[in-house]
Structures are given as structure tokens and as C-alpha cells.
Homo-oligomer: A and B are copies of this chain.
Amino acid sequence: MAFQNFDARIVTVLATPEASHFRTEPVAVLQTDLAGIIGDRHHGFTRPAGAREPWYPRGTPIRSGRQLSIVAIEELEDIARRLDIPHLEPGWIGANILVSGIPAFTSLPCGARLVCHDGAVLVNEGENAPCRFAGAEIARHFPERPGLDRLFPKAAIHLRGIVASVELAGMIAPGQLTVKIPEQRLWTGGTLL
């Protein structure tokens, strides 16, 4: 597979302080193995199917594909603007990595590699669909705005970042990030654009 390189930056890395909630908080470094962030609630090659996979019975063991959640600072600012709130912390929506400098970050193609200069290499598993649980956590910070939780899924569509798996185990810390974009073609049932 031929890749095209694109330089960007990791601004902050975050981990879940308590396993019972998806909320994350900034930490100095994330240590990964091939199943994800060591000690994290999303660690594992597999996970039970949930609301995002309504086509599988809830709880069925499936391939994870959601070891890490990655968001872009520029897109969080867009979401905040759309929601008319002054600020949106990446930790409120459970992000593990906050990046900067990648245009249309959420639309990066599946299979793109994120090479973290502290060691780990991640694979883009695709867009992270916005959900009301994340909306509720945002709304908790703006009690004067009833109904804010329900506005989040629509405001965050194509802006909520991506989910990723670990391809090469290692550390992830703020600093340089190289994005490797695979060859892209649109498949349209036979006609390639």
C-alpha cells in the first residue's frame, strides 16, 4: 500500500481516571500495547456490541475497532460554535488524543496510519458517531442550557473525530504526528472515481 505523508501535532493525551465512566482527563503520556491503552476501559481486541451496532444483539462479543478515540482541536471549536457554547473539552466526550493541523480530520480515510513520534502507530478505523451520552456530559457543564445534550449528535456529525486501533505498540505523548494517507478511490459499484 502506497502512503502519502502529512505532518500534524498531538496537543494533549487523555485517559479515563475511573473505569466506570467514559470521561477522560489529560495525562503526561499514554502507554499502549496492541490491544489499546494499558489500563484503559476500552483496552481489548474485542468488546461487547452496543448501541452503535444495532444489527448485533447487545452484548455479543465483536472485534473492537474502538481502542482509542481521537479528536481535532479545530473540529471541537466548530462543534462549540454550532452549540453556542464557549468551549468543548476533549475529555467531556471521552477523547484519548487531541490533535491539531489536520484539515477535515474526521474524514480521514479508514486505514490511514497515525505515526506518533513517541513510538505508537495507530490505524484509523473510521468516523466516531456522535451519541447522546457524550452530549449529556457536555450539557452537565452548561446547566443553564436545557436540551443541549440532544443538540450534540447533529452539531457534531462529521466533526466528532475518529476511532483507532494500535498497529505498533508504544508511547503516545504531545508532539509531532505523521499521518500516512493510503491510496484513495471511490468505489461506486464498479466505476472508480
Q: Which residue numbers of A lie inside 8 Å of B, CB to CB? A: 1, 6, 34-35, 45-46, 56, 60-63, 65, 103-104, 107-112, 123, 125-127, 129, 165-169, 181-187, 189-193
A156 to chain B minimum Cβ distance, whole angstroms, is 14
State in angstroms the CA–CA spacing of A103 and B189 once bound together: 6
Q: Quick one: closest B residue to A182, CB to CB?
A: B126
| Best-surrounded residue of A45, A63, A169 (most CB of chain B within 10 A) | A63
State in angstroms the CA–CA spacing of A127 and B183 once bound together: 10
B192:A187 contact, CB within 8 angstroms: no
State in angstroms the CA–CA spacing of A94 and B23 once bound together: 44
State in angstroms the CA–CA spacing of A35 and B45 once bound together: 9
Q: Quick one: closest B residue to A190, CB to CB?
A: B103
Q: Quick one: closest B residue to A61, CB to CB?
A: B34
Q: Quick one: closest B residue to A109, CB to CB?
A: B187
The listed residue (B62, B123, B129, B192) touching A34 by CB distance below 8 A is B62
A79 to chain B minimum Cβ distance, whole angstroms, is 18
* Also in contact, A167 and B111, with CB within 8 A (given A1-B126, A184-B186): no
Closest 4 CB pairs between A and B?
A103-B190, A110-B110, A110-B111, A45-B45
B184:A1 contact, CB within 8 angstroms: no
A61:B169 contact, CB within 8 angstroms: yes
**Chain B residues within 8 Å of A181, by CB:** 187
Q: Quick one: closest B residue to A167, CB to CB?
A: B63
Q: Quick one: closest B residue to A112, CB to CB?
A: B187
**Chain B residues within 8 Å of A111, by CB:** 110-111, 125-126
The listed residue (B62, B110, B185) touching A167 by CB distance below 8 A is B62
